[in-house]
Structure 1
Amino acid sequence: MPRRTSPTPLVRLRTPGGFPGFPGFLKTASVCALVAALLSPFAPTARPASAAEQITAADDHCGGQCSDILPPGQNGNATLAQILLNQIFGTQPEHAEDQLGPYANLAKGYPALTNATVNTFFNDASFGVPADQVASTLKPAGRTDVTIVRDKKTGVPHITGTTRYGTEFGVGYAAAQDRLWLMDVFRHVGRGQLTAFAGGDPSNQGLEQQFWRNAPYTEADLQAQIDNAVATNGERGRQALADANAYLDGINAYIDASDSGRYFPGEYVLTGHKDSITNAGTIEHFKVTDLVALGSVIGALFGSGGGGEVDNALSLLAAQEKYGVVEGTALWEAFRERNDPEAVLTVHDGQSFPYAGKPADPQGAALPDPGSVVREPLIHDATGTGGPQAGAASAAVGSAKRGMSNALVVSGRSTAGGHPVAVFGPQTGYFAPQLLMLQEIQGPGLSARGASFAGLSMYVELGRGQDYAWSATTSGQDIIDTYAVELCQDDHHYLYRGTCTAMEKVEQKNSWKPTTADGTAAGSYTMRVWRTKYGPVEYRATVGGKKVAYTTLRSSFMHEADSIIGFQMLNDPDHVKGPESFQTAVQHINYTFNWFYADATHTAYYNSGDNPVRAPGVDSEFPAWARPAYEWRDWVPATNTARYTPPSAHPNSVDQDYYVSWNNKQALDYSTASWGDGSVHRGNLLDDRVKKLVAAGGVTRASLVKAMAEAALADLRAENVLPDLLKVIDSAPVTDSTAAAAVGKLRTWLAAGGRRTETAAGSKKYADSDAIRILDAWWPLLVKAEFEPGLGTGLYTAFTRNLPVDESPSAAHGPTGAHAGSAFQFGWWSYVDKDIRAVLGEPVRGGLTRTFCGGGTLTGCRDVLLTTLKEAAGKTAAQVYPGDTLCAAGDQWCADSIVQRTLGGIKHGNISWQNRPTYQQVVEFTSHR
């Protein structure tokens, strides 16, 4: 799913009741099944290792200064007995949540952090396992060419092989040990078969509908992508296929062993795939095309920027209707902030990387006739409980966004040790089991430790090598375009280069029945997508009276497997030897990410993705006509390949003084697909702090972690917008007692730092809770009162579809949903900031073309702010935090809290809110090869 289109897949995963839940299954579980489960075997424990069998550390240049963390825990598999014990008594399988406490404790522990105490909150990420910390060794399937060693503290697998095949076999076996159920869930999501596999719960229906709409692949499509990746990448392509097959052999060996030993994940019983008494039933082996299906899910979630052109067209038309073509277009461009001069940048040394900017002479736009846009139906022939799920496949043309991850990287020129320091990681949400998993891989041509997505873990995807570390953030530049194909003959034929051509119908038929895990009544439906050479049909409309279908063309469509080569290179110590070879590796990743690198001497950055070269005059913000003049340059429909911008045109840098990224703008003139890259962005929370550290010098691992942790608790609105709001209010005495009291509380909170922190660890009560409640209630009220009168309801509503007003931690209506951790990425902070500064008469670069608050006068604006502030102050906690299935109405802390969303049968407790990466590294290498 592109970053600029509906965020529903993550919302579905993150919101209460997310898939595939197991609520109340004990109500229907029979006593017989319960007893049988408790008598059935737990997963076998590998034998303890003697000192002679311990894994020996590989060539490790980190000097004990590499750390990482990934909550809730390494073990994401649980037998039926363990699931039932967890549901009844709250007990946890070993290593299921032993990283959750240290992760959560940083929120209160960071002020006293020192280098010596970093690993109180993180794991030691050194290579190898000390002799006294070896918990077990395993020769999977009796192989002699690979050993899996697990450490006592976290249970992370350290896989060492003497052959390439054996190494990857062990990697697959360890992955299945830790995440088999999750891997199975996501291969079915990628294939559009989740309901048939896990049940017809509405959240399951919504999830498969959203993903399959964007990647409606047949089995032949999946295989073709593998064949292409192998054929176009020479020896590395052939090695990748061999690695994948060995990895799959390891997974399948574990499936067979756990099935015969009856220690497979208990969810297979609860969903009706296995019988707890007779062991009848089958756990399907994995095949190579499953990896592509899995990859399509991860790529859609985190690595596909763009789309949303229809929404953009609708808001532009609304602006032109309100203000006229010239003024309306200028206003639209101001709100779009394609290249805002006040935006925080990752590459801040003045380099310019023009991409997706506004053409001087726009050509080929195909804007819809007003009122003609209709979402293409996905669901057909529904029976029983089956049907379209509004939250996942909304008929409304909505465009909320989401993105994740942050990075703080400081050059050795500004550190105490003289070596670069990095604190970075992906912000991938919170799940049980986690989407990512930790591992160390040591074998021929492989040497790395870090995190990988479950089911795609043949290589470490984010982590460290022998003398370097790397990480990524979602970048979201535009690799997705919308084309208007003219219809001919009927609704399922279109003009392709002058010829009336039939659309291709692709279908997936699903049915389900109640299970112990999901009592949803029986149902079925058919998902149907019409594909064209310009991509799947997403909307229908008229343009100038002509009937058209709007299609979505993504550069990574039919290329989900291509990125494997880049990850293979990152794990190869013979390839990555410095910043340049690192950049070469990530250039092979076709998804949209920002990549960061640090070794003992250098830092580096590179923005990846297959950025298509568009035809002259085509504006990537809007739908274009599906005609040769407006196609991507050198586009070959049969393979969906085109000319892409060269690596030098991608934002890139080596040894800048520091880098920060929190899904902010990459560089000057490099337009991202999402709205909101303006004067106030959550990236400012990092940039302001790191800039001060670098100016002072002597940066340490501890001080950089502190900067990250403080930003993780900051309320962006309070830190970057509230001071100017108070300036307007302070322009005259506040005589109303309610407003004065509210202002006093806000000012006290701001003086304390404007952070959302507990009064004490575990108190579950916020310091300055009234001020936080007031701002949470005030923000949506003030934004609406500030802008709607000037914009008009129609345009205001259209702009809120382009960019939601708010994304506070408790804003369940926001793009990431409730209890997600990630917050303050998307909102109207920049608009409010620029408008209020204009009212105050302060200089504003890249202003909004007109002033909105109170009609543009200081007195009028002050009245708007005070009126809405009084209304907000009068709202009770129960009104501001209405409660959900997890939290009582009025429970402010709980409304913000992070939930490990269940993707299986094991539950974990909530933790206090932090806005930080899910998997995070802290690294400082002390030497280089």
Structure 2
Amino acid sequence: MTRRRSGRPGTPRRLRLPAAALAALLAGTLLAASPGAASAGVRSAALPAAAPDYCAGQCNDILPPGENGNATLADILANKVFGTRPAHTDDQLGPYASLASSYPGLTDAQLGDFFNDSSFGVPADQVASSINPRPDVTIVRDKATGVPHITGTTRYGTEFGAGYAAAQDRLWVMDLFRHVGRGELSGFAGGAAANRQLEQSFWQAAPYTEDELQQQIDAISQQGPRAQQALTDAQAYIDGINQYITESYNNRTFPGEYDLTGHIDAITNAGSIQPFKLTDLVALASVIGALFGSGGGGQLQSAEVKQAAETHYGTAVGDQVWQSLREANDPEAVTTLHDGQSFPYALPPSNPQGVAMPDPGSVVPEQLIYNPTGSATSTTTAAPGVLPGNLLTAKHGMSNALLVSGKDSASGHPVAVFGPQTGYFAPQLLMLEELQGPGISARGAAFAGLSFYVELGRGQDYAWSATSAGQDITDTYAVPLCTTDGSPVTLAAQSYLYHGVCTPFDKLVQQDSWAPTTADSTPAGSYSLVMYRSDYGLVTARGTVGGQPVAFTSLRSTYRHEADSIIGFQMLNDPGAVHDPASFQQATQNINYTFNWFYADSQHIAYYNSGSNPVRSPEVDPGLPIMAQPAYEWQGFDPTTNTAQYTPPAQHPQSVDQDYYISWNNKQAQDYAAAGFGDGSVHRANLLDARVKALAADGKVTRASLTQAMEDAAVTDLRGEDVLPELLQVINSAPVTDPQLASVVSELAAWQAAGSKRTETSAGSQSYTDSDAIRIMDAWWPLVADGVMHPGLGDQLFTALTGALQINESPSGGQSGPSSGGPVSANESIPHKGSSFQYGWWSYLDKDLRSVLGEPVAGPLAQQFCGGGSLTACRTVLLNTLQQAAAQTPAQVYPGDANCAAGDQWCADTIIQRPLGGVTDGKISWQNRPTYQQVVEFPSHR
């Protein structure tokens, strides 16, 4: 069956305004109301009473750069010409940034200097505006941050207000992402190479017809009263969005990006902003789920590592090497649950069955692009995309959490510092809000376009947050190809065997076209994006297994269920549904995406790992491709609805009142298998675990001290703290006789002894303390990782392993790959992203060097690599690579980019709020920290 969807025809021309017209517009419209102001016809409102709040001023949050994400054309032009910004565009960026230099002496009384007060309501003297977009809802914005505080006398009014406020603050971003979710970004925002790359990657992950988006809504409506209420809430939210669209269009207070992309004529106002509908929310949810809530996949890359290891070492030893590099259940991995709890899931069996190893060299990625015209296949246009092209394809390190129980706090009440790392954008993907109405009472953050519920935040007497979990809910199947007419089967076959029947693939087609523009140097173009779908999932590649042509498919348990989590989020916002750890865990059980959820109230802390974890045959290894046969399907699998039997809640990692919890996208619990490579003895979560464990042992934890622990980890180089000691121990196993090299070793040792920090000499200095040691470490890591591992692995295995796990994830993203010119990780190609040190070969070097030193290693690598296991030879490797690193100039280590001059170390590391619209923000010093973050301690409870 061929299912076609077309992009919106008649894309308007791009705006071309002469300088005189720009000046006239600027002069004539600078007084236009900003998006956060009351629209014409919206009544000023009386201040509603604050909801019950048990936090007593001890709840804080922060979300840089600022709440206001909408800028009129006049605002954008003023930003470009004069450097001005609309109110509340960047007012949370400074406090967020300054914590990196101010945390050492932090006290509870000073938290307000670095975080917002997230109490419910707005004091009368702090009200900036109060409006009624309809009689049953009031939207109050505070002076300090401009956050919308939405109070409804009816549930419909509350949700209507949530939609209205979301459009005030994020209309352009919401519009971008509903188009991303449909594979229509280029036609909407221009055909820049990055735009095309991004829409292609999302179309591959979650292609749907419009009917299929609607089917997900229809399916939810059949799930009971809560689900039906959720859809009613969502429709009210959309009604609020659409009212704001109408009012802002009529009053010319809509985002100026619509002018600049040609959707509305800046002179005549001709054009339109398309109204939102329920299926847009499903498209938005598919984007967020693919970014932050899916796990697994990567089985083909794992198979390549296994094949290369067996080729290099022989089958038996090679398999041992592959398993040790995979670290699926490493005994030294830091875990969120540390009291010995075991939650077996996705563990590789001792004798796996149904493995579908591709024939070497046979795998070919599936063709996605058809019928390109114009610049459709070019990746060299000068046009910047409105979003990073590799937003989905690059690995993401998101979110952390630190919680300490009341028995270890100074007050006797639990303390939590937690939040998601969703990247840095201007405006942010998230927005802040407070929602108060019948059955709803919460304040916090939500993704733009999905903010009819607070997704991460606080209720009246509890707070919650999440980190991306990434457990394996995505499998790769090798589906035999066939032909319905009996012709010879080739890789080009358009049918596959399902339970012995030759069945045509579903063909999903998205056509997109973009108009010419001089603004971004992109000529007109068009293409068709085509995905083939089987009952075993989406076709991602083709190849042969034992000489037989197959399609390799990706089967994700949450595919076609992008909006199912709506019920869990509704419960988290309902004070009648969540009131203790048990009810919190019940709510998060209704979220099908892979997240680690954390909870704190005045008496308890709790944890639950959510996700639709399919039940597999015990003979199946989830880390490798699987033969598409009934014996190896998910138990209870129904391809018509993409449903299966899922592990029951009791088998998900969970806990109540452990002494403390930490999470930084690390392993959840013993025997809960890692979905990919990299959960070994050294993980960035070690930085949190060491600090919080020490604090908890002291028994006097405060909000300030826990914030200090988070921030101290945020400015620490993981390599310096957890691997450099072994590197130096090997080097110092004999005297370093070269004076220059001895000086370098001493410099590194001094930096390590001082805490391996990447911090400024003083606030605003834009230069690092220990800058030389940091430069040497940045230059040395890819060289030493290559020098230690490459000779033993050999070229083929080394290359395969870099495809499964990148060598490095430095703050600058500039030290990308091995000295031999091996593959560069997509993640390392993202500069200025903040999040660092999750993905790398830290554990491999840590385990190998300890083995060479003769120290005990639990779960060691199956071979010794550094110097072939000889301490003397290993030391030579380290010294040689260190000498090479020390000789590199700053310009070589930090080559520069469009934002930074070559050799500028501080600038190379800086975090940049990637502009999603026309207003830009300044750089801030690097810190490895959540984007949105809460600091909470409840002194009382309902």
Instruction: Compute the TM-score of the two structures, normalised by the length of structure 2.
Output: 0.94
Q: Which amino acid aligns with 1:477?
A: Q
Which of 928, 932, 937 is the aligned partner of 1:915? 928
Partners of 2:544 and 2:708 in 1: CA distance: 54
More deviation, 919-928/746-755: 746-755
Secondary structure of residue in 1 paired with 2:197? helix
Which of 14, 20, 39 is the aligned partner of 2:28? 39
**Offset of residue 513 of structure 1:** 1.7
Which of 372, 376, 380 is the aligned partner of 2:366? 376
Partners of 2:706 and 2:883 in 1: CA distance: 39
**1:399–1:801 Cα contact (<8 Å) kept:** no
**2:595–2:609 Cα contact (<8 Å) kept:** yes
Partners of 1:641 and 1:801 in 2: CA distance: 31
Secondary structure of residue in 2 paired with 1:139? strand
| Aligned residue in 2 for 1:732 | 734
**2:45–2:130 Cα contact (<8 Å) kept:** no
Secondary structure of residue in 1 paired with 2:799? helix
| Aligned residue in 1 for 2:601 | 599
Partners of 1:516 and 1:71 in 2: CA distance: 32
Matched, 1:288 2:278: yes
**Offset of residue 197 of structure 1:** 0.1
| Aligned residue in 1 for 2:784 | 782
| Aligned residue in 1 for 2:745 | 743
**Offset of residue 26 of structure 1:** 11
Matched, 1:846 2:837: no
Which of 314, 329, 342 is the aligned partner of 1:324? 314
Partners of 1:900 and 1:324 in 2: CA distance: 49
**2:517–2:524 Cα contact (<8 Å) kept:** no
**Offset of residue 518 of structure 1:** 3.3
1:479-498 map, 5 Å: 479-489=473-483, 491-498=493-500
| Aligned residue in 2 for 1:343 | 333
Matched, 1:819 2:832: yes
Q: Which amino acid aligns with 2:867?
A: G
| Aligned residue in 1 for 2:431 | 437
Partners of 2:363 and 2:44 in 1: CA distance: 68
| Aligned residue in 2 for 1:894 | 907
Matched, 1:718 2:720: yes
Partners of 1:461 and 1:531 in 2: CA distance: 32
**Offset of residue 204 of structure 1:** 0.3
Partners of 2:527 and 2:400 in 1: CA distance: 40
| Aligned residue in 2 for 1:207 | 198
| Aligned residue in 2 for 1:139 | 132
| Aligned residue in 2 for 1:105 | 98
Q: Which amino acid aligns with 2:139?
A: I
Q: Which amino acid aligns with 1:39?
A: G
**1:76–1:433 Cα contact (<8 Å) kept:** yes
Q: Which amino acid aligns with 2:440?
A: L
Q: Which amino acid aligns with 1:805?
A: I
Q: Which amino acid aligns with 1:46?
A: A
More deviation, 434-443/517-526: 517-526
**1:47–1:137 Cα contact (<8 Å) kept:** no
**Offset of residue 553 of structure 1:** 0.3
**1:314–1:798 Cα contact (<8 Å) kept:** yes
| Aligned residue in 1 for 2:5 | none
Matched, 1:118 2:111: yes
Secondary structure of residue in 2 paired with 1:758? coil
Which of 876, 880, 895 is the aligned partner of 1:863? 876
| Aligned residue in 2 for 1:582 | 584
Q: Which amino acid aligns with 2:643?
A: T
In 2 relative to 1, CA 863–26 (structure 1 residues): closer, same or farther, beyond 3 Å? farther
**1:67–1:124 Cα contact (<8 Å) kept:** yes
Matched, 1:170 2:164: no
**2:43–2:132 Cα contact (<8 Å) kept:** no
Partners of 1:238 and 1:601 in 2: CA distance: 33
Task: Give CA-to-partner distance per residue, 1:638-662, whole Å, 9 cap, x none.
Answer: 0000000000100000000000000
**2:173–2:916 Cα contact (<8 Å) kept:** yes
Partners of 1:741 and 1:870 in 2: CA distance: 11
Partners of 2:882 and 2:424 in 1: CA distance: 34
**Offset of residue 742 of structure 1:** 1.0
| Aligned residue in 1 for 2:10 | none
In 2 relative to 1, CA 29–713 (structure 1 residues): closer, same or farther, beyond 3 Å? farther
Secondary structure of residue in 1 paired with 2:494? strand
Which of 682, 696, 715 is the aligned partner of 2:684? 682
Which of 677, 698, 701 is the aligned partner of 1:699? 701
Secondary structure of residue in 1 paired with 2:730? helix
1:250-329 map, 5 Å: 250-329=240-319
Which of 813, 832, 857 is the aligned partner of 2:845? 832
| Aligned residue in 2 for 1:60 | 53
Partners of 1:28 and 1:774 in 2: CA distance: 49
**1:401–1:803 Cα contact (<8 Å) kept:** no
Partners of 1:238 and 1:34 in 2: CA distance: 51
Partners of 2:932 and 2:395 in 1: CA distance: 21
**Offset of residue 723 of structure 1:** 0.8
Matched, 1:88 2:81: yes
In 2 relative to 1, CA 180–399 (structure 1 residues): closer, same or farther, beyond 3 Å? closer
Which of 213, 226, 230 is the aligned partner of 1:240? 230
Partners of 1:822 and 1:107 in 2: CA distance: 14
| Aligned residue in 1 for 2:467 | 473
**2:469–2:595 Cα contact (<8 Å) kept:** yes
**Offset of residue 388 of structure 1:** 6.9
Unaligned runs of 5+ in 2: 1-13, 484-488, 817-824
More deviation, 359-368/498-507: 359-368
Task: Give CA-to-partner distance per residue, 1:85-140, whole Å, 9 cap, x none.
Answer: 11121111000000000000000011111000001000000000011101110101
Partners of 1:409 and 1:79 in 2: CA distance: 41
What do you get for the CA RMSD once the two structures are aligned? 2.0
Q: How many residues align?
A: 901
Task: Give CA-to-partner distance per residue, 1:112-171, whole Å, 9 cap, x none.
Answer: 11000001000000000011101110101xx11000000000000000000000000000
| Aligned residue in 2 for 1:448 | 442
Q: Which amino acid aligns with 2:221?
A: V
Task: Give CA-to-partner distance per residue, 1:444-503, whole Å, 9 cap, x none.
Answer: 000000000000000000000000000000000000001111000151100011000000
Partners of 2:331 and 2:762 in 1: CA distance: 41
| Aligned residue in 1 for 2:808 | 806
Q: Which amino acid aligns with 2:196?
A: Q
Which of 43, 66, 75 is the aligned partner of 1:73? 66
Which of 425, 428, 431 is the aligned partner of 2:419? 425
**Offset of residue 739 of structure 1:** 1.3
More deviation, 352-361/287-296: 352-361
| Aligned residue in 2 for 1:8 | none
Q: Which amino acid aligns with 2:128?
A: A
**1:835–1:853 Cα contact (<8 Å) kept:** yes
**2:331–2:858 Cα contact (<8 Å) kept:** yes
| Aligned residue in 2 for 1:6 | none
Task: Give CA-to-partner distance per residue, 1:519-565, whole Å, 9 cap, x none.
Answer: 41111111011111111100000000000000000000000010000
Partners of 2:544 and 2:684 in 1: CA distance: 39
Matched, 1:190 2:203: no
In 2 relative to 1, CA 513–784 (structure 1 residues): closer, same or farther, beyond 3 Å? same
**2:540–2:551 Cα contact (<8 Å) kept:** yes
Partners of 1:640 and 1:46 in 2: CA distance: 45
Partners of 1:631 and 1:697 in 2: CA distance: 49
Partners of 2:716 and 2:344 in 1: CA distance: 32
**2:45–2:138 Cα contact (<8 Å) kept:** no
More deviation, 266-275/805-814: 805-814
In 2 relative to 1, CA 496–83 (structure 1 residues): closer, same or farther, beyond 3 Å? same
Instruction: Compute the TM-score of the two structures, normalised by the length of structure 1.
Output: 0.95
| Aligned residue in 1 for 2:8 | none
In 2 relative to 1, CA 925–276 (structure 1 residues): closer, same or farther, beyond 3 Å? same
**1:273–1:282 Cα contact (<8 Å) kept:** yes
